[in-house]
Amino acid sequence: MAIQIMALIGTGVMGMGIAQIAAQAGIDVRLFDARADAAEQGLAKLKLTLEKLQAKGKISQQQFTDTLAHLHIVENIEAIAGVDLVVEAIIENLEIKQNLFKQLESIVSDSTILATNTSSLSVTAIASVLEHQGRMAGLHFFNPVPLMKVVEVIAGFATKEDVITELLAFASHIGHCGVRTKDTPGFIVNHAGRAYGTEALKILGEGVTTVSEIDRILREGAGFRMGPLELFDLTGLDVSHPVMESIFNQFYQEDRYRPHPLTRQMLAGKKVGRKVGEGFYKYVDGAKTNEAPRQTVPQVAAYSSVWIKADREQDAVILRQFIQMQGLVCDNAEQPASESLILLATYGEDTTTAALRFGVDATRAVNIDLLTDFDKHRTLMPSIVTQQSYIDQAHAIFARDGHGVSIIAESVGFIAQRVLAMVVNLACDIAQQKIATVTDIDKAVKLGLGYPYGPISWGDVLGSERILLILERMYSNTGDQRYRPSPWLKRRSALNLSLLHSSTI
C-alpha cells in the first residue's frame, strides 16, 4: 500500500472518524479545518473516544499512544504538501468543495490522490475544476466511520484506474470493505436503500395497516433489523426526506424512487422523528411511548373446515399440514363447501383479485403471505367483503402455536412481498446499469444498511420467480411504473439462473 501519509480536510464527525481508523492502521494523518479550534476540538473528542476504548480493553495502552502519535494538526493548509492522499470531509456544497480542490492542487504534488467524502454531489462535477482530474475519486464512508465497515470508492468520469486500485487497497489497509461504484446519484447504498422506505410509505399511505404493524411485519416477518418507519424516526426526516427527493429528481422523476407527500407534510409540521420527540411514533427520553400492541387474538368457539388454494403447490402443502396439525379439518374437494373457510396463498395481488381469479366466494376468503418464513410471523389479508367470523377463525388458527399474526387491509400484495420485491428489483436494476458488480452491491448494502442478506442474494434466497411474479402482478394490477420488473431479474429468472450471474459482456 503506497499511502503512508495522508491529509484530512474538515475535522467534523466524518473527518475525525476517518482520521481515527487511518491512524489506528499506522498512517500519518495531517488534520486541517478552516474553523479555528475545530481540529483541536475534534482531536480532543477523539482522545476521549480512544480512552474509552482503552478502558473497555478494546485497544492497548500502546495502541492508544501510537494512534495519537499518528495525528498531527496543521494550522496552515500549505503544510499538507507531500502527503500521498488527501481526503476531504468539509461542508456538502459543490462550489466550496471545488474551490478547496483547486487550492489543494496548487499545494500537493501531481501524484497525490485527491478524494471526497461527498454523499450526494457528483464526484465528476467536483473534479471538473481540476487540471489533473484523473487523480480524483470519491471515498464515501458511513457514520459512525469506525463501526460502519464499508466505504464506496467512486470512479468519476475521468478517474484513473490505478487511483481506484490504490483507494481499494487503502480501504482494506484501514480495515474497511471497499466497494467500487460508478459516479451515479446515491452511489450504491443510498441508491439501493430507496426501496425500503418509499414502499413502506406507499403502503402506509394506502391505509393498508398501522405504523406499528408495518414495522412489526418487516422486522419479525421479513427479517429487517429495524422497521422502515422507526428507522425514519431514528435518522430524522430532516435528513431522509431531502435525500428521497434528491435521488428522485436526479434520476429525472423515475417512479421507482418516488417519495411520498406524507414525509413532506411531517417535515413541514416539524414531526421529524426521535430527536424532537415525535415522528411516526412519539418518544419520551428516546423511547417509543405509543407502539401499538399486537392485535388481540379473537376467541373462536367453532371452526369451519378449511379449503386451501395456493399459487404454488409447496405452499398448499405447508398450509394443509399446518391445518391438520391444529386438529382442524381440510376441505379437499375441488370447490369449497358452502361453509368452508377459503384460505388462499398468493403473490402480488389483493384478496379480491385472488378470489375472483380462483372463482371462489370472496366473503369467506382470507389470503396468507408465505414469501417469508412461515415460522416467524404471519400476515393475513381478508378481502373487503370477508365476513368477520371467517377473519376471526383465520386469525385464531394461525396464532394457535404462539406466532405473531397481523391482519391487514387489502393491498396489491402483502407488505413483506411488496417491500422485498422492491428491494431486490432495485438492486437488480443497479446491477443492470453496471453501477457496481453484484458482489459489491451485496456487500455494500449488507454492511451499509444492515440487511440480513445482500439484496441480490436475498432475491435468490426468496426465489427470483416469486419476486418476478409479485412485481409482474403488481405492475399489471396498478399500472404503476415503479413495479416494472428489472430486465436483470426477468432474464435470470427465465433462464433459471442465480441473480448473481453476470454475463461476460
- Smallest distance, Å, CB 101 to ligand NAD? 10
Q: Which of 70, 140, 191, 241 is catalytic?
A: 140
Distance CA 289, CA 208 (A): 22
Question: Is 140 marked active-site?
Answer: yes
Site string for ligand NAD, 280-319 (x = CB under 6 A): ----------------------------------------
Residue from 12, 134, 146, 236 touching ligand NAD (CB under 6 A): that is 12
Q: Under the criterion CB under 6 A, does residue 235 sit at the interface with ligand NAD?
A: no
CA nearest 147: which of 8, 17, 48?
Answer: 17
Using the minimum distance from each CB to ligand NAD, give the nearer residue, 141 or 390.
Answer: 141
DSSP label at residue 176: -
Is residue 146 a contact residue for ligand NAD (CB under 6 A)?
Answer: no
Asked if 416 is part of the footprint of ligand NAD (rule: CB under 6 A), the reply reads: no
Residue 218 beta carbon to ligand NAD: minimum distance, rounded to whole angstroms: 23
Which of 3, 33, 399, 499 lies at the binding interface for ligand NAD (CB under 6 A)?
33
**Which member of 72, 88, 166, 190 is catalytic?**
190
How many C-beta atoms surround the C-beta of residue 208 within 10 A?
Answer: 22
Under 8 Å between Cβ of 311 and 346: yes
Residue closer to ligand NAD by CB (options 153, 416) is 153
CB atoms within 10 A of CB 160: 16
Q: Is 119 in the site for ligand NAD (CB under 6 A)?
A: yes
Residue choice 4, 60, 143, 165 for contact with ligand NAD (CB under 6 A): 143
Q: Give the separation between CA 85 and CA 478, rounded to whole angstroms.
A: 51
11 interacts with ligand NAD by CB under 6 A: yes
60 touching ligand NAD, by CB under 6 A? no
Tell me which stretch binds ligand NAD (CB under 6 A): 83-91, 396-404, 456-464, 489-497: 83-91
Q: How far is CA 21 from CA 9, 63, 152, 445, 447, in A?
A: 15, 12, 16, 21, 17
- Amino acid type, 280: F
Distances (CA, A) of 403 to 50, 302, 306, 365: 44, 20, 19, 21
In the block, which residue shows the cell 405447508? 318
Told to check if 118 binds ligand NAD by CB under 6 A, we report yes
Stretch that binds ligand NAD, among 9-17, 178-186, 252-260, 428-436 (CB under 6 A): 9-17
Per CB under 6 A, the segment of 8-16, 62-70, 241-249, 287-295 that binds ligand NAD is 8-16
Q: Which of 24, 117, 346, 351 binds ligand NAD (CB under 6 A)?
A: 117
Cell of 94: 459543490
Among 6, 89, 407, 421, binds ligand NAD (CB under 6 A): 89
137 lies in the binding site for ligand NAD (CB under 6 A): no
Diameter over CA atoms, the chain: 86
Cβ-proximal residue to ligand NAD, closest one: 12
Name residue 28's beta-bridge partners. 5
Q: Which is nearer to ligand NAD, 154 or 323 (CB)?
A: 154
Is 152 in the active site?
yes
Rounded to 5 degrees, φ, ψ at 151 are: -140, 130
Identify the three-state secondary structure at position 409.
coil
Torsion sign (Cα): 340, 341, 347, 353? positive
Region 320-349 residues binding ligand NAD, contact defined as CB under 6 A: none
**Vertex 409, ends 404 and 414: CA angle to 5°?**
65
* Contacts of residue 451, Cβ cutoff 8 Å, sequence gap at least 6: 224, 225, 423, 445, 458
Identify each DSSP E strand in 3-133 by its residue range: 5-9, 28-32, 71-73, 85-88, 113-116
Which three-class secondary structure state does DSSP give residue 235? helix
Q: State in angstroms the smallest separation of the CB of 36 from ligand NAD.
A: 9
Shortest CB 253 distance to ligand NAD, Å: 23
Q: What is the nearest approach in angstroms of ligand NAD to the Cβ of residue 52?
A: 20
Shortest distance, position 245 Cβ to ligand NAD, whole Å: 16
429 closest CA partner among 254, 178, 224, 259: 254
Q: How far apart are CA 270 and CA 427, in angstroms?
A: 32
Q: Locate 333 and state its grid cell.
A: 374437494
| 3-state class (DSSP) for residue 13 | helix
In the residue annotation, 119 being an active-site residue is answered as yes
The residue among 35 and 294 lying less far from ligand NAD, judged by its C-beta, is: 35
Instruction: Decide if 433 contacts 184 (C-beta within 8 A).
Output: yes
Tell me which of 88, 152, 220, 278 is the catalytic residue: 152
What mask of x and - would describe binding to ligand NAD in positions 459 to 488, judged by CB under 6 A?
Answer: ------------------------------
Q: Is 38 in the site for ligand NAD (CB under 6 A)?
A: yes
Q: Is 404 exposed, middle or buried (0-12, 13-18, 19+ CB in 10 A)?
A: middle
* 115 sits near ligand NAD (criterion: CB under 6 A): no
Identify the residue among 2, 44, 96, 287 touching ligand NAD (CB under 6 A).
96
* Catalytically active residues, by annotation: 119, 140, 152, 190
Binding site for ligand NAD (CB under 6 A): 9-15, 33-35, 38, 89-92, 96, 100, 117-119, 141-143
